[in-house]
Structure 1
Amino acid sequence: MEETNDRRINRTRVALKRAFIELILDKGYDAITIMDIAQRADYNRGTFYKHYTDKDDLLMAIREEILDGLSEALLSPYEGLKRVDAKQIYPSTLKVLQHIEHHKDSFIALLSVKKDFFYDIFQRLRNAMTQDMHIVIEEMDDKMDYDIMLSYRMSAFVGVVMYWVETGFKYSATYIAEQVLIQVNQSLDYIEFR
């Protein structure tokens, strides 16, 4: 009985989230009412309020779900492993990008409402990399600050994601993952001036 209730709750929440995302994309966040969300999801206002206090609460639930999925995608390909060669980061990069691609409407909607959502992505990925893994860098003459290096790499990755979103997801997650891997493993030779 409890499992049936859990499935019903999940189904209702998914329908409310989907309706909300569609409405944000159709008419913008500010124009949306609770009644709009409930009607689009084919529920009544009372059902909405059983699950969320207001549309901000629903927006934050969608945001957290997306960000939690990013953290999970980053780490899941390496479950049970102690280490992986840096040139073998393709699986996690691809999973993160597939998560974004799968939820692209949610990403676009969140970005239209919360302009600093890219910073949320940056923070979540950097925190996951700080808490759950450590990048080992070959010895160099110059002392590299780990936190600066990690921030630099995460900023570059989020910049690629920003570009991907701005271009309307014109490339596949696979193509973007391949390009990220090329960038990570490529060093610059020199810069020419025109």
Structure 2
Amino acid sequence: MSVEKLDRRARRTRQAIQAAFVELVLEKSYESVTIQEVADKADYNRGTFYKHYVGKEELLSEIREGFLRGIREALLRPYKGMEQVDATKIYPSSLKLFEHIEEHKNEFMALLSVHKGISEDLYNTLRISMREDMHMEMEPSDPPLDYELMLSYRLSATVGVIMHWAEMDFKYSANYMADQLLALVNGKIDHIVFKSKP
């Protein structure tokens, strides 16, 4: 059997184990899921599980890393081969970001149920991408914007919107969320009306 066929088979096995694990975590809880249950649900034996993973921690870590790597890839995918893009034309990366989360929402929810630090992981992944993969050129302003503060503000807002979407059980489409995020980022507040007298 060729190495490529073996690799494909190993990939399929790992995907089946991961899908079974995620389903069980969402049904029960991470702590109560056993290796035997994961193997049974994936339709493999325990030996096959241990051939691919040392235990649940390594499995969870691989799911987390794959999910976050996909976030970073999603941001850049629409602009392959481009040197720059106008700020008003970043809809494709916002859409790809939300599509990735929508496509992997079970993994995201499983990760969220195991450790609440996934929002911090998301923030850090976006921050690394914004530092290493791209740079936002800002219009001149008075006072001048501190780049790191601006980045922190925008990334916190993006993660906040993603977390709210998850709390709402992904009731809106990825398209709607991308539209809303861009409107929020590019919109300016006109004025504030006080509901009670200060």
Instruction: Show the counterpart of 2:114.
Output: 113
What is the distance in 2 between the residues matched to 1:37 and 1:148?
A: 44
Q: Secondary structure at the match of 1:29?
A: coil
In the TM superposition, 1:25-174 aligns within 5 A as 25-174=26-175
Deviations 1:29-49 (A, max 9, x none): 110111111111011111111
Deviations 1:97-153 (A, max 9, x none): 000000011111110001110110110011101111110111111021101111110
* Percent of aligned positions that are identical: 54
Alignment RMSD, CA only?
A: 0.7
- Counterpart of 1:161, as a letter, is I
What is the distance in 2 between the residues matched to 1:97 and 1:25?
A: 21
Structure 2 unaligned blocks of 5 or more: none
- Counterpart of 1:154, as a letter, is L
Q: Secondary structure at the match of 1:151?
A: helix
What is the distance in 2 between the residues matched to 1:131 and 1:169?
A: 30
Q: Secondary structure at the match of 1:175?
A: helix
Instruction: Show the counterpart of 1:10.
Output: 11
What is the distance in 2 between the residues matched to 1:27 and 1:186?
A: 42
Instruction: Show the counterpart of 2:185.
Output: 184
- Counterpart of 2:98, as a letter, is L
Instruction: Show the counterpart of 1:21.
Output: 22
TM-score of the superposed pair, with normalisation by structure 1: 0.98
- Whichever structure has more helix as a proportion of its residues is 1
Provide runs of 4+ in structure 1 moved above 3 Å.
none
- Counterpart of 2:6, as a letter, is N
Residues paired across the two proteins, number: 194
Q: Secondary structure at the match of 2:142?
A: coil
What is the distance in 1 between the residues matched to 2:144 and 2:193?
A: 27
TM-score of the superposed pair, with normalisation by structure 2: 0.96
The Cα of 1:184 is off from its aligned counterpart by 1.4
Structure 1 unaligned blocks of 5 or more: none
- Counterpart of 2:155, as a letter, is M
What is the distance in 1 between the residues matched to 2:190 and 2:103?
A: 36
